[in-house]
């Protein structure tokens, strides 16, 4: 319909001019997209379906670009260090929220679902912030990306348990084990493909890079990745990340993607964050004390767990504090959990919104705060006189 094209045009123009205006107020682009989504709720009830394609592939596109910066060799070096930080992140963020929720509600299923929803940091928001603030070269980036991928895998496992629980069924250990095995098999398959065929893949990449139709290959691959991941209840972020990993940095395909496909990434992410806040339904919940305790727990324990994980990983106290203040925001997985278990939507949605805005602010201020608490030491030694 022509009316849909009108709204598409208005939305796309707004996604250009609104962040451009707020940029003068030092408002991050990602926050501008989210504000615009909230404002759009006053004027339109539904987003035109023409934009849904880019919204659905946004997370996969973003993690594909993150994967381009890595190789399996680099990931293997960090595996042993990431496992314990990942478990620490899960324990310190899942258990306290579960105990608080169960103490107030005495509802086991609601408490498990709520802890699952508020446990993971948003992969899309965090990855976008890391790029926007040009912090991909920081020493903590390997740890943060490792924990994000670990959280994706754990969240998929938890989600497969919450869905039958929401219907009143019991957890099926066989089904959970199957999903874990499938994720492991996919990772191993990508590793074997890269290990044994890396040289042949580079030649193939170079041939593909010379074709002007590369954008069709890119969008088609990403679309099928999202479809296959959703069909098997897998993490599209993990699969897309692995696809990026096997693209060799020595190939011309890597250079072409980095140079020409970045606009697809920016378009997808802008529409994703706009749609994310536009779709959120804010509802009131009468237990204010539960809200306050959950806000404290989801912020304090995420900062604490990330700080301790960073120290264990071998980072300095300055880098550890900077990393911990950059990991507060929740996002897409929290909303997915809320959508499959409606009784907790009144609690989760406002908390997710608050964590996003608070997380973005903490992310922006993290380098300054870390520098203030742990300033760089300036040597007071006087250089020796010249001979």
pLDDT digit string, tens, across residues 284-319: 667 789 999 999 999 999 999 999 999 998 899 999
User: Who contacts 88 (Cβ-Cβ below 8 Å, separation ≥6)?
Assistant: 305, 308, 309, 312
pLDDT band at 33 (very low <50, low <70, confident <90, very high): confident
Rounded to an integer, the average pLDDT of 11-28 is: 84
The secondary structure of the chain in percent helix, strand, coil, rounded to multiples of 5, reads: 80, 0, 20
pLDDT band at 246 (very low <50, low <70, confident <90, very high): confident
Q: What is the pLDDT of residue 315?
A: 92
Rounded to an integer, the average pLDDT of 125-133 is: 84
DSSP E strand stretches across the chain: none
CA 204, CA 359: separation in Å to the nearest integer? 42
Rounded to an integer, the average pLDDT of 256-270 is: 83
Q: What is the pLDDT of residue 170?
A: 54
Q: Is the pLDDT higher at 91 or at 244? A: 91
Q: Is the pLDDT higher at 211 or at 152? A: 152
Tokens of 387: 């001979």
Rounded to an integer, the average pLDDT of 356-385 is: 80
Write the DSSP assignment of 52-86 as a string of letters.
Answer: HHHHHHHHHHHHHHHHTT--HHHHHHHHHHHHHHH
| Cα distances (Å, whole numbers) of residue 381 to 161, 366, 371, 374 | 60, 30, 22, 20
Rounded to an integer, the average pLDDT of 340-365 is: 84
H runs (alpha helix) in 133-213: 141-166, 173-209
Q: Is the pLDDT higher at 147 or at 377? A: 147
Q: Are 65 and 239 in contact (CB under 8 A)?
A: no
Rounded to an integer, the average pLDDT of 334-354 is: 80
Is residue 167 predicted with pLDDT exceeding 60? no
User: Who contacts 281 (Cβ-Cβ below 8 Å, separation ≥6)?
Assistant: 345, 349
Q: Is the pLDDT higher at 16 or at 378? A: 16
pLDDT band at 100 (very low <50, low <70, confident <90, very high): very high
Hunting for tokens 């219907």 — which residue is that? 167
Find the helix packing angle between 173-209 and 72-105, rounded to 10°. 140
CA 296, CA 301: separation in Å to the nearest integer? 8
Between the two ends of the chain, the Cα-to-Cα distance in Å is 83
Mean pLDDT of the chain: 82
Out of 102-106, 154-158, 241-245, pick the least confident: 154-158
**Which residue, among 367, 369, 345, has the nearest Cα to 284 in the 3D structure?**
345
Q: Is the pLDDT higher at 132 or at 367? A: 367
| Cα distances (Å, whole numbers) of residue 46 to 178, 332, 352 | 37, 19, 21
Which CATH code for domain 49-373? 1.20.1530
| Dihedral sign from CA coordinates of 151, 157, 160, 164 | negative
């Amino acid at each position: 319909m022509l009316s849909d094209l009108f709204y598409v045009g208005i939305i796309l123009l707004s996604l250009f001019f609104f962040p451009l205006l707020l940029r003068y107020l030092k408002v991050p682009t990602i926050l501008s997209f989210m504000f615009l989504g909230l404002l759009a709720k006053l004027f339109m009830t539904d987003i035109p379906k023409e934009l849904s394609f880019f919204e659905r592939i946004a997370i996969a596109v973003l993690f594909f670009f993150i994967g381009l910066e890595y190789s399996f060799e680099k990931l293997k070096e960090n595996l042993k260090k990431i496992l314990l930080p990942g478990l620490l992140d899960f324990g310190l963020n899942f258990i306290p929220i579960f105990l608080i929720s169960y103490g107030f509600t005495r509802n086991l299923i609601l408490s498990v679902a709520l802890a699952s929803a508020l446990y993971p940091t948003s992969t899309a928001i965090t990855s976008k912030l890391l790029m926007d603030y040009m912090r991909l070269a920081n020493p903590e980036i390997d740890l943060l990306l490792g924990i994000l991928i670990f959280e994706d895998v754990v969240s998929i496992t938890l989600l497969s348990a919450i869905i039958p629980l929401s219907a009143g069924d019991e957890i099926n250990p066989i089904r959970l084990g199957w999903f874990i095995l499938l994720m492991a098999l996919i990772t191993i398959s990508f590793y074997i493909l890269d290990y044994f065929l890396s040289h042949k893949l580079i030649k193939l990449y170079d041939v593909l890079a010379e074709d002007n139709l590369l954008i069709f290959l890119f969008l088609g691959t990403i679309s099928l990745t999202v479809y296959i991941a959703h069909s098997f209840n897998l993490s599209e972020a993990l699969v897309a990340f692995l696809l990026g990993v096997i693209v060799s940095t020595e190939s011309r395909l890597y250079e072409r993607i980095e140079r020409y496909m970045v606009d697809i990434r920016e378009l997808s992410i802008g529409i994703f964050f706009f749609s994310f806040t536009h779709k959120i339904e804010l509802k009131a919940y009468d237990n204010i004390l539960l809200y306050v305790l959950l806000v404290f727990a989801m912020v304090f324990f995420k900062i604490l767990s990330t700080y301790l994980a960073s120290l264990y990983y071998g980072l300095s106290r300055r880098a550890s504090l900077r990393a911990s203040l950059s990991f507060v925001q929740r996002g897409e997985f929290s909303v997915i959990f809320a959508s499959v278990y409606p009784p907790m939507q009144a609690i989760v949605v406002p908390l997710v919104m608050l964590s996003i805005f608070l997380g973005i602010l903490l992310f922006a201020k993290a380098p300054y705060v870390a520098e203030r608490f742990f300033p760089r030491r300036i040597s007071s030694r006087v250089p020796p006189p010249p001979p």
